[in-house]
Structure 1
């Protein structure tokens, strides 16, 4: 028997953790827009604000509510189109959590404890490098099981492809394992789930402007280490001028090991201009860091000008955001209800 041909369905999500920075935009959001642009009419694209995942860390309710709305405005501002993609709040569709519970009953806790995120949080709980020194009782159960919810986010729509960064590959592997396990446990005329694959998209690793040994991050203590979508042109100029480079006075070269700060600026410029970084570096070989920083500033301002203005406009129109969220959730629930109706029947929870 030939394997089933699954309709192409792409799912990805973003946490409502504040205004995205340049690294978020170049690493994920711009790729989502490209996926939408390249999609065929019969493809299904789902982009979600994953509010339930945010609850694995303490949240202030009013701030979380605002962050959820801001995240939706960001997705629209960067170019996602509700007429072409299903854009919705994960927490508006309870079928995610229903499937997560069913999958959690099939997931060994040992596998979850081996997840990198869990081990990292364990180490952070006591600022310890040795995992034997940390105390699991300091962490909540949601942090342990949220990879199962991530799998449910994907499988409830029978997604065939998932855009993932390097730090999410382990979570997709768990999702694939759970899909295969379910298919083998509850057999039918055809498998219940496709085995989702990673959608490889070009993603630039943008580093901190103040510490180029680490990624650009919203949680870094120094706000000048990151460029936010909402930063004004003057703020962007100031942050880029103050970015760490190196003490080599002559010439600009791309050398991430020996010259990480300079190389980070070259990476940003190449990504903003959609140019090959080797060609960009060659163009600056006889120039100064001042020349490089001026061009980086112009490129980032040009990149953010339209989405920044659109974001500010959308924030002033909460009624439109509510309509987009409501319509997106309705479409998402319709798709996932088909999956869950068949799944309940297959596992014995028949209506």
Structure 2
């Protein structure tokens, strides 16, 4: 029986050796074909959005850069001026003042919005009855049009009948012209913008907080860590990708999204104290008809946003994921 078993195994060995190459041959081809199908499917899903971005975002940006080298008259004539618009911009004190105001606006708004949104995210994360109502109330301003928000707060900031000054007078303080005083107008716009956007970024922070496993906090409590230690050693490091997204999006929103509020609340005044760069560009293009000059300023503003985005990326992500090494 041993001899027969040995003979059978020896007879079967060549068959197995011959079948092995044939079995392994189609495998890589099947994997390659499946990978190609996945790439094609991904391309078909991405194509509509990519086409929309190319037509409605990419093409206008390219045309804006091209337009910045021309002097456009109100009658539709184009005169090539090369870098003339950029040279004019270098000598325009109102443009640099608007850039300075935009810098103050971003430096004050972005950290304030970040802290408020993170605090609200930590607050509504608690599992208490009725927390869903507070989430809805905090998010509600974001779904309202910025024009409507501006009109609402313009009435609330009114010197005589506004509820803000009425509340201050009821508490024994003197009223103030919040939108009429150059020293407070910009900060009033910042307060309104934070009120509008804090609910949106609260939801983003809440999503990031819910991705952190609760086992980490349970282990930290067992080790005797308090709330601040848990936040510093668990929440903050693991929330870094979400923080990067919030900082980046809020910076872009601050630079480009303050136009509606400024237009409705102050129209750039008083004394140009709220004339953000995006509002000054609008004035040059649609009030004075300087489309080429406005395109040049818009190009510089986009480059400034790219630099800010790179700085945020470097500060929040580049070389900071020590736990992943």
Give the TM-score, by structure 1 length: 0.22
Higher Rg of the two aligned structures: 2
**Larger helix share, 1 or 2:** 2
Larger RCO: 1 or 2 (CA < 8 Å, sep 6+): 2
